[in-house]
Each structure stands twice: as C-alpha cells, then as structure tokens.
C-alpha cells in the first residue's frame, strides 16, 4: 500500500489505478496471449514523473512495463512478472515541426492518428510513414518495435528516428542523436549510435519520453498498380523488378482463402505517388510494364476494385477489419522479417500451418526498402469467446514462429515464446552482450523483466 501511496504522490491520485476493473485490461490484448497479472497502472504526465517512477521502482525492485496503445497483439505490454504498467498516452504533445529539415519532435503518447491530423492541418505538405496499425497506436511504440509504414521505400520507421529522449532505468535522462550536441534534432548524428539501445528492446532499457522523427514531402496524388499470380514463386523476381524501377513508395502483398475467388492467388500492390498527374500516369505505365517480363505468369490487374484500393491507400488502412473475420474480436499475426527469396516457402508453409490448425489462410506482407527485407505477416483471426480456438491460435503462432526461424527469418515484435526461440538460436557472445548492456543500464533488473532473457 505504501508503494501505491508513493506512486500517487508522484503522478497524482487520479492517475494510479489498482482495482481489478482498472488493471484487467492491461493484462490482456487483442491477441491470444493468456491474461497476466498487473498490480498497478500508472499514467505519468511529465518526464520528471517518469523519472520518479523508475527511481522508486528501482529502489524497491518493482517491475516496470512501459506501454503505448498495447497494439502489438503479441503481449509485449503485458508484464511477465506483474508490477507497474506505465501507460505513456497522457504525454501527448507535438512539440515542434521543423519544416525545412523535415522533422517532428513529439512526446511518447502521441498517436498515429493525431500526428496524421496535426500535419494535415498545420503542415499539409509533410507526412510521416504511417503504419497499418489503428490510428490509436502510438508513434513511439511503433518506432521502438522497428515498425514500418507508407514510406517503406525509405526503410523502416525506426530508421527515420533522429534521436530519443529516454529515462534510463535508474532515473537519469539521456538524449540520443544530434540533440545531445546541437539545438537541432535533425540527425542521429555522426556520433556513436545510442538510439539502437532502445529499438526492439521492448522497454527493457528505459522509457522513451520524446522522439525526433523524420517527415517526408506529402505528394499531391497517390495511386497503385496491382499484380496477381497463382504461384508465389514469382514474387521475389517480381519485387526485384518493381524495386529496380525506383518509382514506388511502398510494396505490399496479400493472400487469403476468403472470399473463395481469391484463394490460391497472390496479389502484389505497388503504391506510387507524385505531384503531377502525368507523373503518376508515367510511373504506373513503367511499373505495369514489369509484368511483361513474366511471360503471362504474372498478370496486371487493369482496374483495381475500389474496396481493394481503399484497403491499400487509406491512411491508415483499416487492417483491423481482420479481427471481425470470425465475428470474434480476436486477431494476432506472426509478423516476421524474412529474406526476399524465402517468400514463396513462407507462403506455402504458412498456408499449411493455417489449414492444419483449422484456420483460413491469410497473409499481409510488406517489402521494406528495396526488398532488403520482407515483413511477412501470417494472420490469424479468431473468436475470443471460444477458449479452444484461442488456444489453437497460440499453438499455430508457435509453429509459425518456428517456421520463420527455420527459414532463416526472425520473428518481429516477438512474443515470449518467439523470444525464447530466437535467444536459443542466437550467437552466444551476442546474447551475453545484450545481458551485459541490460545489467549496466538496469542494475535492479526492473524493466520489463523476462523479456529478452532466457527462461531459467
């Protein structure tokens, strides 16, 4: 009880929640992860409050899990060992937009939707790379998991970070990137790169309170070109050829068993943009010509139905619709970073796993940069009111994660099981260094314990 009183002193009594009806939702998410215990939810309003929270938790060995909107679906904001969940969404100011150097500085709780609408209203010529996650997802949560979005041509969203403000597990404040040296937060800097200490670490190295993120010119027009085939084996070469045109913003792939007429086909969509109608026309024409290289095996879809176009072009697209495919509110996907050449095998084996566990096959994939990596999303929609089905998704997810590793890929935003499998495969010195870094930054071991450490 004393701990709760102290937390209330830090953030104010209105922002500490301990009753079952207030903590329950932080112990579960829209995926199949079984619910876990949360002792308190704390919602700080300032950097100083975050500092005091971690100092207090560190002194008293209380586990701390930072959370944005909790939308990874893989249980990453559900503490493995109870303790405090720090919901960052009260810190939601957009602090600066530098138009010429094209970056925004924002607090950790700013959502994708708010940044999108803020830019549209105040800087209509600028945009950020928007993921397909619901607009309530936080920008920082997405950056910290190596997210990706509409500007995948430029790389992953985490590649677009200029720097972070971080409260370290011992309470000190750190700046990474140029802000540590300059007034302008415009680059990671020609400096030893500390930003990476917080990306894909799942909150085990500190709590990010601010980020500087690169913005891009918002084009006047957007459109897409869509290809279809019935053998995934053509995909790697097709992607290679499309990327070789250097004319796309973003390339996505889709495949699903339903509706029936889509079954057995693969769809590849290239998103393009430009400031002139002629530019769009020309880009479309050049990208369309790629199909000619495949001797009729890859078809160009001349008129993309509006519903499919919307699925690709909306900002962000309503990808969450998958949660209602089984009229059950449950959705989880094993997103995996795999090499381009492994796409066909992932596709075929993914289909087998989905069918083996009694699910319809569905995948939504994204090409990152110029095909340097592919995020392959093996999707599972399920009925969360059916415990047997929830368990089956869990099993299917495990097998999918194993498949990914066997294909030399790496599960993205890895859940606890996938983390264990990755760590088991990891080069021992790499693992040891990860643990050394954690021990140095977080001597009390309070930050999201259990993540990125081998189960005893």
Ligand X SMILES: Cc1cc2nc3c(=O)[nH]c(=O)nc-3n(C[C@H](O)[C@H](O)[C@H](O)COP(=O)(O)OP(=O)(O)OC[C@H]3O[C@@H](n4cnc5c(N)ncnc54)[C@H](O)[C@@H]3O)c2cc1C
Alpha-carbon distance of 279 to 308, in angstroms, equals: 23
Residue 69 vs 393, nearer CB to another protein: 69
Residue 66 binds: one of ligand X, another protein, none (C-beta under 5 to 8 A by kind):
ligand X
Alpha-carbon distance of 359 to 389, in angstroms, equals: 9
Residue 113 vs 282, nearer CB to ligand X: 113
Extract the tokens encoding 424: 């088991």
Extract the tokens encoding 191: 């400096």
Residue position matching structure tokens 């399920």 = 382
Q: In what helix (H) or strand (E) does residue 93 lie, and over which residues does it extend? A: none
Alpha-carbon distance of 303 to 308, in angstroms, equals: 10
In the complex, what is the shortest distance from the CB of residue 57 to ligand X, in angstroms, rounded to a whole number?
A: 14
Residue 65 vs 195, nearer CB to ligand X: 65
Residue position matching structure tokens 């090409």 = 367
In the complex, what is the shortest distance from the CB of residue 284 to ligand X, in angstroms, rounded to a whole number?
A: 23
Span of 1-9, 19-27, 41-49, 142-150 interacting with ligand X by CB under 6 A: 142-150
Residue 73 vs 174, nearer CB to another protein: 73
Q: Is position 383 an interface residue for another protein (rule: CB under 8 A)?
A: yes
Alpha-carbon distance of 207 to 142, in angstroms, equals: 14
| Contact map string, positions 28 to 67, toward ligand X, x by CB under 6 A | -------------------------------------xxx
Q: Is position 252 an interface residue for ligand X (rule: CB under 6 A)?
A: no
Residue 142 vs 266, nearer CB to ligand X: 142
Is the distance from CB of 375 to CB of 366 less than 8 angstroms? yes
Helix axes 343-356, 235-244, angle to 10 degrees: 130
In the complex, what is the shortest distance from the CB of residue 200 to ligand X, in angstroms, rounded to a whole number?
A: 9
Span of 110-118, 187-195, 334-342, 368-376 interacting with another protein by CB under 8 A: 110-118
| Contact map string, positions 400 to 439, toward ligand X, x by CB under 6 A | ----------------------------------------
- Strand pairing category for 40-42 and 84-87: parallel
Which residues, in sequence order, are CB contacts of 16 under 8 Å at separation 6+? 4, 7, 8, 40, 41, 42, 43
Residue 77 binds: one of another protein, ligand X, none (C-beta under 5 to 8 A by kind):
ligand X
The residues facing 161 across adjacent strands are: 213
Is the distance from CB of 207 to CB of 167 less than 8 angstroms? yes
Which residues, in sequence order, are CB contacts of 340 under 8 Å at separation 6+? 236, 239, 240, 367, 371, 372, 373, 374
Alpha-carbon distance of 212 to 105, in angstroms, equals: 4
Residue 141 binds: one of another protein, ligand X, none (C-beta under 5 to 8 A by kind):
ligand X
- Which residues, 56 to 95, sit near another protein by CB under 8 A? 69, 71, 87, 89-90, 94
Cite the DSSP H helix spans in 290-415. Answer: 306-313, 343-356, 387-406
Residue 94 vs 301, nearer CB to another protein: 94
- Which residues, 81 to 120, sit near ligand X by CB under 6 A? 88, 108
| Contact map string, positions 309 to 348, toward another protein, x by CB under 8 A | ---------x-xx-xx--xxxxx-----------------
Residue 152 vs 323, nearer CB to another protein: 323
Is the distance from CB of 4 to CB of 16 less than 8 angstroms? yes
Residue 383 binds: one of ligand X, another protein, none (C-beta under 5 to 8 A by kind):
another protein
The residues facing 272 across adjacent strands are: 223
Using CB under 8 A, list all residues that contact another protein: 14-15, 17, 19-22, 24-26, 28-30, 41, 43, 69, 71, 87, 89-90, 94, 111-118, 120-121, 134-136, 318, 320-321, 323-324, 327-331, 383-385
């Amino acid at each position: 009880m004393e701990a709760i009183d102290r937390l209330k002193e830090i953030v104010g009594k209105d922002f500490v929640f301990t009753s079952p009806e207030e903590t329950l939702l932080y112990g579960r998410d829209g995926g199949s992860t079984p619910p876990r215990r949360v002792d308190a939810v704390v919602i700080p309003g300032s950097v100083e409050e975050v500092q005091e929270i971690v100092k207090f938790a560190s002194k008293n060995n209380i586990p701390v899990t930072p959370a944005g909107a909790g939308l990874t679906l893989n249980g990453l904001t559900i503490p493995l060992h109870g303790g405090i969940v720090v919901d960052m969404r009260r810190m939601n100011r957009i602090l600066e937009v530098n138009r010429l150097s094209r970056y925004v500085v924002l607090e950790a709780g700013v959502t994708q939707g708010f940044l999108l609408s803020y830019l549209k209203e105040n800087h209509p010529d600028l945009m950020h790379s928007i993921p397909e996650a619901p607009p309530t997802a936080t920008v920082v949560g997405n950056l910290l998991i190596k997210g990706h979005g509409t500007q995948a041509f430029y790389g992953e969203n985490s590649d677009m970070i200029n720097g972070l403000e971080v409260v370290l597990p011992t309470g000190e404040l750190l700046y990474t990137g140029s802000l540590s040296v300059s007034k302008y937060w415009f680059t990671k800097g020609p400096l030893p790169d500390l930003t990476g200490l917080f990306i894909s670490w799942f909150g085990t190295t500190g709590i990010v309170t601010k980020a500087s993120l690169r913005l891009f010119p918002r084009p006047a027009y957007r459109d897409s070109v869509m290809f279809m085939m019935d053998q995934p084996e053509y995909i790697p070469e097709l992607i290679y050829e499309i990327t070789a045109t250097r004319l796309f913003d973003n390339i996505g792939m889709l495949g699903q068993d339903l509706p029936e007429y889509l079954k057995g086909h693969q769809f590849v969509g290239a998103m393009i943009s430009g400031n002139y109608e002629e530019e769009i026309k020309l880009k479309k024409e050049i990208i369309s010509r790629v199909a000619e290289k495949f001797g009729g095996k890859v078809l160009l879809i001349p008129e993309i139905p509006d519903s499919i176009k919307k699925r690709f072009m909306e900002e962000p697209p309503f990808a969450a619709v998958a949660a209602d495919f089984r009229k059950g509110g449950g959705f989880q996907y094993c997103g995996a970073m795999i090499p381009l050449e492994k796409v066909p095998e992932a596709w075929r084996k993914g289909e087998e796993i989905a069918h083996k566990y009694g699910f319809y096959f569905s995948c939504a994939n994204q090409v990152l940069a110029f095909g340097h990596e592919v995020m392959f999303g093996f999707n599972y929609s399920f009925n969360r009111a059916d415990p047997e089905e929830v368990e089956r998704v869990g099993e299917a997810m495990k097998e999918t994660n194993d498949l990914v590793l066997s294909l030399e890929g790496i599960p993205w935003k890895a859940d606890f099981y996938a983390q264990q499998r990755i760590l088991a495969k990891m080069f021992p010195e790499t693992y040891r260094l990860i643990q050394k870094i954690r021990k140095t930054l977080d001597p009390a071991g309070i930050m999201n314990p259990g993540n990125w450490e081998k189960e005893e």
